[in-house]
Amino acid sequence: MVAVGAAVPCVCPRHWEAFAGIFVLLGRVMGGGGVRLHMAEGTGTDASGPVVRVVQANVPQREKWRPEWIEPNFARHLAMSLPEAGEPDPDIVIWPETSATFLINEHAGARRRIGDVAERLDAIVITGAPRVERTATATRAYNSAVAIDGRGTIGATADKRHLVPFGEYLPLREILSRIGLDKLAQGRGDFSAGTGEGILDLPGLPDAKALICYEVIFDDEAATDGPRPGWLLSLTNDAWFGTLTGPDQHFAMARFRAVEQALPMVRAAGTGISAVVDAYGQVRARLRLGEAGVISARLPQSGQQSLFAIAGDWPTVGMCFLILVMAIAGKTTIRRRVVR
């Protein structure tokens, strides 16, 4: 929109035409959004949809990885996963990014305890956790979302694909480590980037497209080449930002992905902002920043596949190209008039 507005005066040399063009463009965007939201009224709630329970334990970053806090924080997530009297049993329990602060695939006892909760609720527990793959020649660590069933078995895994440089890995490590540089975040070694679409195949439930941490700010990460998922799952730890504007900005950008893909999004953040967002970007339920609590809500319906989900950025690229052509043509016309 900035490019379009800046190009209008080039296309329309008269001032009133430029201003009129800008207002028409803005009105079209805002009006179109208003019409779409009006069409969304009364939709998005599915009485038969699965019940999701989002756990926001509000664990401070300074405590998250300290050895003496690992067990208390883990037990807190387990306790908060169980509904109180009068609350519905969930079909899916969701913990935030790296809620399990240990290698989930190598900790059978912890998986069994998660499985006990899943079995009691007849649900799936999805948690963010680090995991490793070991071979004879290498060990690779991943920042993952894992789905654990009532047997304590990892049934589905999605690894973070878009890693944070200097946070989750050190670029050019062989060179930069020689001059004393390392990651800014805690932990030895680097995470490896995941592969695949990041789809969690959940038996008997809609498949989820997992977006871990800041992956959710990239529109191409939310897109899929294969079958369309039923919903978007955003796991994050925004405790790094404290109470500054970062968590609010991150949440606002996450809502854009729901609108672009016309899919509901469930967001679990360690210290906030956790939320359930429908396919039109409307917040159905949320927990505030710095608040410990849970969300219990039905997963909203998905919307009709959007143009953006089908065509991506190509319509925008085409519009920019058309504006460039019009701007060049307008300038050429003005020069001819001046010469005459």
Mean pLDDT lowest among 137-146, 186-195, 220-229, 240-249: 186-195
* Position 320, amino acid: C
**CA separation (Å) from 127 to 76, 112, 210?**
14, 14, 11
User: 306 pLDDT exceeds 80?
Assistant: no
Residue pLDDT, tens place only, 172-226? 676 666 676 665 566 566 888 888 889 999 999 999 999 999 899 998 888 888 8
SS3 313: coil
Q: pLDDT confidence of 68, banded at 50, 70, 90?
A: very high
Q: What is the CB-side half-sphere exposure of residue 159 using CA atoms within 13 A?
A: 18
pLDDT of residue 260: 92
Mean pLDDT lowest among 54-58, 130-134, 156-160, 171-175: 171-175
pLDDT of residue 226: 83
The alpha carbon of 255 is separated from its chain's Cα centroid by a whole number of angstroms, namely: 8
Pairing of strands 274-277, 265-269: antiparallel
Cis status, amide bond into 273, omega within 30 of 0: yes
Residue pLDDT, tens place only, 289-304? 999 999 999 999 988 8
Whether this model's pTM surpasses 0.85: no
E strand residue ranges, 225-322 = 231-236, 265-269, 274-277, 283-287, 293-298
Of 114, 133, 101, 142, the residue nearest 237 (C-alpha): 101
pLDDT of residue 176: 65
The alpha carbon of 292 is separated from its chain's Cα centroid by a whole number of angstroms, namely: 20
User: 137 pLDDT exceeds 80?
Assistant: yes
Residue pLDDT, tens place only, 77-96? 999 999 988 888 999 999 99
Which residues partner with 295 through β-bridges? 54
- Average pLDDT for residues 103-113, to the nearest whole number? 94
How many residues in total does the chain contain?
A: 340
Q: pLDDT confidence of 229, banded at 50, 70, 90?
A: very high
Q: pLDDT confidence of 285, banded at 50, 70, 90?
A: very high
Catalytic residues: 97, 160, 213
User: 331 pLDDT exceeds 80?
Assistant: no
pLDDT of residue 165: 78
Which residues partner with 169 through β-bridges? 165
CB 133 within 8 A of CB 200: no
Q: Which residue has the tokens 């019409």?
A: 35
pLDDT of residue 125: 97
Mean pLDDT of the chain: 83
The secondary structure of 50-106 as a DSSP string is: PEEEEEE----HHHHT-HHHHHHHHHHHHHHHS--TTSPPPSEEE--TT-S-S-GGG
pLDDT of residue 75: 95
Residue pLDDT, tens place only, 15-27? 555 556 556 666 6
Of 158 and 174, the structure prediction assigns the larger pLDDT to 158
Handedness of CA 33, 218, 296, 58 (dihedral sign): negative
- Average pLDDT for residues 46-54, to the nearest whole number? 86
pLDDT of residue 264: 96
pLDDT of residue 227: 87
% of the chain with per-residue pLDDT over 70 = 75
Of 267, 270, 268, 274, the residue nearest 288 (C-alpha): 274
